[in-house]
Amino acid sequence: MTDSVFGSPFSAPPEEDLRQLPVSEANSLLMGGPVALVTTIWRGEPNVIPISWFTPLSSDPALVGIAIEQSRYSTDILGHASEFALNIPTRSLASHVEYLGSLSGADLNKFEATQLETFAARRISSPLISLCCAWIECEIVERLELGDHYLFVGSILSAQCKPNLISDHDEDYSLRPLHYLGAQKYSVLQKPFEPQIVNPSEAPEDALSEMLEEQLELSREAIEKKEERLGKLEDEVERGNVVDLREIESELGLTLEAGDELDLSKGILFDGDSEKE
Ligand SMILES: Cc1cc2nc3c(=O)[nH]c(=O)nc-3n(C[C@H](O)[C@H](O)[C@H](O)COP(=O)(O)O)c2cc1C
């Protein structure tokens, strides 16, 4: 192996106390991607399963892969069905997603249990879930056994989304896809940004390390600012003052009800629609 432009590949790791994970837990480091509600149908019985292990595989032909644990009822159904749909939920469906992940189609009809509204797909028979923001219809073209999961490869037949989904300027986070962070925690992407562009003719390694320094400085400033704001808010809540939850959430990029960064138990919180104590 040759030396990289940023130093020897054999130099010390960035922190001395790096946490080592068992390889079986390494995939938890890759969490944070969007959630999909996979709908399918077999012998007239529809089923729906939340998943986060799915990935684009090819643009031409358009292929997507979904990884389903071998023991799941869905594995049987998808093994027989020739199709599935990926329904991309938004934040408003987070409780449904979590609930659906606790139910099995082997025991009950999940559509009856949740009363989720559906509409007809364009190219397949599986139902599409109305409250989602994007829908991808697939025909199963391959099933690969990979360890304790099956990878079902879907050839994409149709793709639709809400008109304002793909927009950099839309500040309405409620329309954005729901992401799963693992351990029953969810999020949505917030402000997009573009990295600074390096001109290859100007010693890129110097330019990149300067930019890295700048970015680190900016991150440090942002963290300090956030901590200062949280401290002030905690004082407000302690004093029993009314605090506007929505304003804080958008300002700090937090989901306060789900987070543990701020003790909200002592004051009055205003969430835009109602007051909570
Ligand atoms: C957010 C979320 C993501 C999940 N991701 C996957 C996944 O990628 N693959 C999988 O096999 N199960 C995944 N699960 C678990 C299944 O959704 C769950 O076991 C479901 O109840 C199985 O339904 P079934 O018995 O009808 O197949 C996930 C669950 C949740 C809540």
Return the ligand 1 atom nearest residue 97 CA.
Answer: 31
Residues 121 and 253 in one domain: no
Q: Is 67 in the pocket of ligand 1 (CB under 6 A)?
A: yes
Are the CB atoms for 36 and 50 separated by under 8 Å?
yes
Residues 158 and 225 in one domain: no
User: Residues in the chain with pLDDT < 50?
Assistant: 1-2, 258-261, 272-277
Whether residue 9 is contained in a domain is answered as: no
Q: Is 155 in the pocket of ligand 1 (CB under 6 A)?
A: no
Residues 42 and 163 in one domain: yes
User: Of all protein residues, whose CA lies closest to atom 18 belonging to ligand 1?
Assistant: 101
Cβ of 142: how many Cβ atoms within 10 Å?
A: 12
Pick from 187, 209, 237: which residue ends a domain? 187
Whether residue 118 is contained in a domain is answered as: yes
- Select from 93, 91, 80, 86 the least CA-distant residue to 39: 86
What is the gyration radius of the CA atoms in the chain, in angstroms?
23
Pick from 162, 187, 212: which residue ends a domain? 187
- Select from 125, 123, 140 the least CA-distant residue to 80: 140
Look at residue 229 in the predicted model and tell me its pLDDT: 81
CA angle 139, 142, 143 (to 5 degrees): 115
Residues 69 and 142 in one domain: yes
- Select from 102, 100, 84 the least CA-distant residue to 143: 84
Look at residue 250 in the predicted model and tell me its pLDDT: 61
Look at residue 248 in the predicted model and tell me its pLDDT: 66
Alpha carbon distances (Å) from 121 to 40, 158, 166: 11, 9, 21
Total structural domains within the chain: 2
Are the CB atoms for 75 and 62 separated by under 8 Å?
no
User: Of all protein residues, whose CA lies closest to atom 5 belonging to ligand 1?
Assistant: 51
Q: What is the pLDDT of residues 13-24, one digit of tens each?
A: 776 788 999 999
What is the span of the domain harbouring residue 271?
A: 221-276
Residues 183 and 256 in one domain: no
Q: Is 51 in the pocket of ligand 1 (CB under 6 A)?
A: yes
Look at residue 115 in the predicted model and tell me its pLDDT: 94
Look at residue 252 in the predicted model and tell me its pLDDT: 62
The string of DSSP letters for 226-244 reads HHHHHHHHHHHHHTT-EEE
Interstrand relation of 128-129 and 268-270 (parallel, antiparallel or unpaired): unpaired
- CATH number for the domain harbouring residue 118: 2.30.110.10
Cβ of 102: how many Cβ atoms within 10 Å?
A: 7
Return the ligand 1 atom nearest residue 75 CA.
Answer: 27
Q: What is the pLDDT of residues 102-143, one digit of tens each?
A: 999 999 999 999 999 999 999 999 999 999 999 999 999 999
Cα–Cα distance measured from residue 211 to residue 51, given in angstroms and rounded to the nearest whole number: 37
User: Of all protein residues, whose CA lies closest to atom 9 belonging to ligand 1?
Assistant: 68
